[in-house]
C-alpha cells in the first residue's frame, strides 16, 4: 500500500485523538468530502474502542493503526498490537457499558464505512479492517 500511515501508540485517550486528526487530514488531502472525513473520524474512534477496550477487563496498553489509499479506497487496519492489557479502565472515559457498547460501536462503523471485518487471532489479538470508497461527489 503506497503512502501508508502507521501508528503504534500507547493506549491512552490523547493518542486516539492524535490518530483521528492525522487520518482525517490524510483523507481530506486525498480528496474525500467533509462528510466522508467525518464518517472516517467517527469510525476510527469506535474502532479503537472495539479493538482495545470493549470485551476486556482492562484496556490495551498499545494499539496499532495502519492507513493507506489504494486507488479511490481508504483502507484502515486497527489492532491491539500486543495482547497485554494493563491500563486501568477507569481512565477510559469513552466507555459507557463495556462490553455491550462493542456491538453498538460495530453497528456505527458498519453504517459509516463501506466494508468492515473484525477478527481475533489465536493469541487474542483483535484486528479491525475498514474501507471507505470515495463517492462520486468526492472525486469531482
Task: Give the three cell numbers for residue 4.
Answer: 501508508
Residue with cell string 479492517? 129
Looking at 1.10.40.30, 3.40.50.300, 3.30.565.10, 3.40.50.10780, the CATH number of the domain 5-139 comes to: 3.30.565.10
Please report, for the chain, the start and end positions of each structural domain, with discontinuous segments joined by +.
Answer: 5-139
CA atoms of 94 and 97, how far apart (whole Å): 10
pLDDT digit string (tens) for 54-94?
555 556 567 889 999 998 999 999 988 655 555 554 554 44
φ and ψ at residue 34, rounded to 5 degrees: -60, -40
The DSSP-derived string for 13-78 is: HHHHHHHHHHHHHHHHHTT--HHHHHHHHHHHHHHHHHHHTTTSSSEESEEEEEEEEETTEEEEEE
Judging by DSSP bridges, how do beta strands 62-70 and 85-87 pair with one another?
unpaired
- CA distances 17 to 68, 90, 122, 123, 139, Å, are 18, 18, 29, 27, 27
* Residues found in the chain: 140
4-58 pLDDT, tens per residue? Answer: 999 888 777 778 889 999 999 999 999 999 999 999 999 998 888 887 765 555 5
Amino acid at each position: 500500500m503506497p503512502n501508508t500511515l502507521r501508528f503504534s501508540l500507547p493506549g491512552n485517550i490523547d493518542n486516539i485523538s492524535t490518530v483521528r486528526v492525522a487520518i482525517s487530514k490524510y483523507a481530506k488531502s486525498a480528496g474525500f468530502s467533509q462528510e466522508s472525513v467525518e464518517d472516517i473520524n467517527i469510525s476510527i474512534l469506535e474502532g479503537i474502542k472495539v479493538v482495545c477496550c470493549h470485551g476486556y477487563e482492562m484496556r490495551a496498553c498499545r494499539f496499532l493503526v495502519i492507513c493507506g489509499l489504494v486507488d479511490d479506497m481508504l483502507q484502515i487496519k486497527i489492532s491491539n498490537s500486543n495482547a497485554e492489557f494493563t491500563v486501568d479502565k477507569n481512565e477510559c472515559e469513552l466507555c459507557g457499558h463495556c462490553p455491550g457498547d462493542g456491538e453498538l460501536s460495530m453497528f456505527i462503523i458498519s453504517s459509516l464505512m463501506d466494508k468492515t471485518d473484525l477478527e481475533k487471532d489465536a493469541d487474542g489479538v483483535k484486528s479491525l479492517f475498514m474501507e471507505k470508497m470515495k463517492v462520486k461527489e468526492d472525486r469531482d
